[in-house]
Structure 1
């Protein structure tokens, strides 16, 4: 059993290194090498049922998130060894090992729930897609986000995308995104939004300090720019997502909307839906697409892992006509976008 946890921690360390977080790589490597099943808490971690990796339970991120939450609450021992401070492996492990003992009850409760992030930088793809669609259909948009977490990306039309020679978005944005952009620049268009709504099985209530802490705890400690963007997005007062099954919630929203374009999307969320839910959702959206008209088009954007080694695939299905358009690929955290839209 111990090998499963150590494997998951090493796998997470490699992923964090690839996503630009040397601290998280260091932390997960130390946990893989030095954690032992010698307390009630650590025995729970080692004996966790099922798949422990980031493909399922994400036990490594649950534990790392719990430790970061302690730092954000002012834990002196951990704060001394967490970024922006740097320390050697032995010093970091001494502080982490002490916290695992002294704060076991808090950590045990924190890891009950799966990790939940709301990566604002993914809005770069939403902004580009929205402007591409607005150029094709000069209609106001209705938003439906599946797996919306805290709803931060439901405000993407209030953010700016700086592409160097082109900027998409308002002149007074709530925040500005600057991904490494490859490929053509979408033309700036007028984006109008008449309704924005999202759904999540466990939406984050940003008015609840504990839930807000949880959201921030899953932003990696050596990436303060992510925290700054998240806090700017929170300040933009996003709508609170509904708490429901995504497809149950979406079904009544699929009625054609004359004079409006309905944009449905998910960003690294669809992949976690059970297969039966995915199949039902795909069938319902396709059926709604079959009733779409040029005056009431339907668009479905997928920003999801697709088995390829580099980033996530960006696919747009568009009705009427049921066109499938390859928009390119993007980093899981939105650090880069390889845009291929026609």
Structure 2
């Protein structure tokens, strides 16, 4: 895939995911990327997959441009970004000028891959945790793999609205209202006794530079995502630890206390682990599950792609429970949490 093709493909994806501005921006970059510049030469030096499953170069530069807007470093560019509406010609001129004027910042920015912390995925986590508590009603010992900035570790502080029924606190930091199909999840009263997460490149949302990175990769014409991320960051208490997810999980499984439900969660993270790491992680969790008891149960809640393209493109929401090794197909969810197709009616 050429860089121009990668920009065009990402433009199409963003447009289909309700971001016409990103479609417009990336279409411009597909046609007018400055190949004869330091940025152009840096991008030309990347090898392998440069699309969303690899280096994700289009989203790297889009995030860098949005960071300039959010940090007020490029006021001329900001006047062309949502909520303003710019013509193709005006946006093209403004973007090319920003690429040149802020090249040093952007060269540094694009050295790291995109990183977000999609708070709306917590809708599926809230519902899945309620199912787990239906089986083991105990305080929760929560572990998140690929936790990014740890915002989804705080799902007990958010509320899920399903057809007017609220699941969560009366005064939540974030109210999640996905398009919901199916029965509502079971009622429960989660008590997270302890929470922790891990990421190869963890971000601390209480730091301004880290929060900028989390918000810059949100799409400028989707202000609800930006609002939710900032609201979640304002109450975040548990920045993730740095490390390999499975190396970190081993001691955590071994030290999980009695009288707690150890809930392992991950959303759109496991699918990026190398196959050998996935196999090692599965074996580790299943071995711990084999040792689980009713007083020290284990739950594995995942929201990950399963390759199903027969309906809406999204992720499978699955829950495994021990003792008993029960696997529950809870349904499917949009990668950004916009909709949930709930299948569990137990």
Q: Is the 8 A contact 2:140 2:260 kept in 1?
A: yes
* Residues 212-257 of structure 1: per-residue CA shift (max 9 Å, x gap): 2111101110011111111110111231100111111110111253
Please say if 1:320 is aligned against 2:311.
no
Q: Which moved more, 1:11-20 or 1:58-67?
A: 11-20
CA distance in 2, matches of 1:132, 1:322: 15
CA distance in 2, matches of 1:229, 1:208: 17
Aligned runs of 1:13-92 on 2, under 5 Å? 13-74=11-72, 75-92=74-91
**Runs ≥4 residues deviating over 6 A:** none
* Residues 39-79 of structure 1: per-residue CA shift (max 9 Å, x gap): 12112223421110100111111000000000112111211
Q: Which moved more, 1:204-213 or 1:173-182?
A: 204-213
CA distance in 2, matches of 1:211, 1:17: 27
CA distance in 2, matches of 1:211, 1:189: 33
The DSSP-based 3-state class of the residue aligned with 2:2 is helix
CA distance in 2, matches of 1:189, 1:207: 30
Q: Alpha-carbon deviation of 1:36?
A: 3.6
TM-score, normalised by the number of residues in structure 2 = 0.96
Match of 1:339 among 328, 337, 342: 342
Q: Is the 8 A contact 2:141 2:193 kept in 1?
A: yes
Q: Which position in structure 2 is the counterpart of 1:107?
A: 106
CA distance in 2, matches of 1:234, 1:212: 8
CA distance in 2, matches of 1:302, 1:130: 11
The DSSP-based 3-state class of the residue aligned with 1:11 is helix
Q: Which position in structure 2 is the counterpart of 1:119?
A: 118
Q: Which runs of 5+ in 1 are unaligned?
A: none
The DSSP-based 3-state class of the residue aligned with 1:333 is coil
Q: Alpha-carbon deviation of 1:118?
A: 0.3
Q: Which moved more, 1:65-74 or 1:253-262?
A: 253-262
Q: Which position in structure 2 is the counterpart of 1:308?
A: 308
CA distance in 2, matches of 1:324, 1:95: 52
Q: Is the 8 A contact 2:150 2:236 kept in 1?
A: no
Q: Which moved more, 1:41-50 or 1:133-142?
A: 41-50
* Residues 76-101 of structure 1: per-residue CA shift (max 9 Å, x gap): 12111110110111110100001111
The DSSP-based 3-state class of the residue aligned with 1:100 is helix
Q: Is the 8 A contact 2:205 2:236 kept in 1?
A: no
Q: Which position in structure 2 is the counterpart of 1:278?
A: 278
The DSSP-based 3-state class of the residue aligned with 1:109 is helix
Q: Alpha-carbon deviation of 1:12?
A: 0.8
Q: Is the 8 A contact 1:167 1:188 kept in 2?
A: no
Q: Is the 8 A contact 1:318 1:324 kept in 2?
A: yes
Q: Is the 8 A contact 1:154 1:238 kept in 2?
A: no
Aligned runs of 1:220-239 on 2, under 5 Å? 220-239=219-238
CA distance in 2, matches of 1:307, 1:11: 18
Q: Which position in structure 2 is the counterpart of 1:132?
A: 131
Alignment length (residue pairs): 340
Superposition RMSD on alpha carbons, in Å?
A: 1.2
Q: Alpha-carbon deviation of 1:165?
A: 3.3
The DSSP-based 3-state class of the residue aligned with 2:330 is strand
Q: Alpha-carbon deviation of 1:308?
A: 2.0
Q: Is the 8 A contact 1:117 1:218 kept in 2?
A: yes
